Amino acid sequence: MKISNLMNRDFKLVEKKKIWFIIPACIIALAIVMMIVFGCVTGEPLNLGMDFQGGYTVNVKLSTKLTSATSASYQAEIKNVIESLTDENGNNYNVKVSSMQEQGSGESASVYVRYKAPHGVSDAVMEDEINPAIQSALQDKIFKIVPTITWNDDTTCTVNYQNFALVDSTFEELKTNIQSLASDTSATVSSVEQVSTDSQEAGVKAITIKLAANSEAFKNALIDTVSINDKYSGQAVKGDIISATVSSELLINALLAISLAIVLMLVYIAFRFEVSSGVAAIVALLHDILTMFSFMAIFRVEINSTFIAALITILGYSINNTIIVFDRIRENTKSVFHKNSTATLIANESIKDTLVRSINTSLTTLITIAMVAIMGAAFQTFSLSVFALPIIVGLLAGTFSSIFISPSIWAMWKDRKKKLPKADKKEKNLKENETALA
């Protein structure tokens, strides 16, 4: 169906207001159910970020190894190390990374990691057990040099360390570890020798190992034995503790900012149009806020300071669409063609007049912010995705509320306040005739 044909049809959107009210009500009800379920299972109804819950940081100093080409892989590896960390009994600590950010460049380049404490874990346990374990795991796995092992035959192999010079003390330590592995796997090592390879910049970068006989157990465990924890190539440094007190202050300030914005919008719309328009617009804004919160609750998206920024962004965007509709309502109310029209009819005509503009504006904005979310996911820039996802939901909710919610509420207010003459006289005469015949 062409848009021109659609625009020529009679719009009766306000008459279906019950449907428009039921849809968001079901979404909010589902969110409440999910919050109750998550609250019972995990103890956290919402996935609150460190900005509101507090947490810990660690600075992973990678120096010149951190480049634009290696950043994504390093961040993914750091996240995996922290979130897969287990205690001595093999139980996962359930530590969740909140965000990662590159800092500095060249020799001072590092990845600044923020993570939350698991639910129910005390600060003492975090400081005495989990935080040291995180630092140790990062040091062992992120800065570990894993060589390439090439087996020339069943009993002889070359262990090659790329871009790493073996000093005598390190070689002797490796030799001791290899002999210990041989003892543990019932293998016999004939020799462990340093090897000079071509195009070496400095020092010995390879060793050869000869066995008296083939040993699969020795071969399978060799890679862990000859890997080196290069403490000189980088360091995982303990960071700051983000206090929950500061986080609660941030939450209070955010709520105050949003409340003040809503009140000022109500005053402006009431002054610019009328009180009924202001009330309808504020109800639509509350719909947008609750819908965004519902999305975060249902899909367990982290709520942090970027969400507050997204929320305020949507408030401004949504109120703009709503004001456009009310501006058309005001013009139609003053028009001689709608002198005897009901508020419902005026609202339907106003929606019809602004529908194409509202959809086009929202669609172009939606495409742009969707690209931001896709780019954030592609480059593993999690803060971009966390910022973009609620905005996408807010755009859809704001478009819905400006078209269906606010005009319907305005029409309900006006029709109940003052009964206007029926616009369709034929319908009135028909009802009178039916009454006379009865």
Q: What is the pTM of this model?
A: 0.68
204-235 per-position pLDDT tens digit: 678 899 999 999 999 999 988 888 776 555 67
Helix (H, G, I), strand (E, B) or coil at 112: strand
Residue 183: both structure tokens together: 């003892």
* Rounded CA separation 226/175 (Å): 9
* Rounded CA separation 215/334 (Å): 94
Give the pLDDT of residue 34.
94
Give the pLDDT of residue 400.
94
* Rounded CA separation 201/221 (Å): 29
Give the pLDDT of residue 259.
85
Give the pLDDT of residue 293.
92
Enumerate the H helices of 227-243 as residue ranges.
none
Residues composing the chain: 438
Q: How does DSSP classify residue 404?
A: I
Give the pLDDT of residue 298.
93
Give the pLDDT of residue 427.
47
How far are the Cα atoms of 45, 46, 401 from residue 409, in angstroms, in the given order? 31, 30, 10
Domains and CATH numbers, the chain: 3-47+243-423 (1.20.1640.10), 55-143 (3.30.70), 148-230 (3.30.70)
* Rounded CA separation 377/76 (Å): 12
Q: How far apart are the first and last CA of the chain?
A: 43
Q: Give the pLDDT mean for 69-94.
A: 87
Least confident of 259-273, 340-354, 355-369, 377-391: 377-391
CB-based contacts of 434, cutoff 8 Å, min separation 6? none
The per-residue pLDDT of the chain, averaged, comes to 82
Greater confidence (429 vs 89) lies with: 89
* Rounded CA separation 314/394 (Å): 6
279-317 per-position pLDDT tens digit: 899 999 999 999 999 999 999 888 877 888 888 888 888
* Rounded CA separation 289/296 (Å): 11
374-392 per-position pLDDT tens digit: 876 665 556 677 788 899 9
Nearest CA to 407 out of 238, 277, 230 is that of 277
Read off the pLDDT band of 31 (50, 70, 90). very high
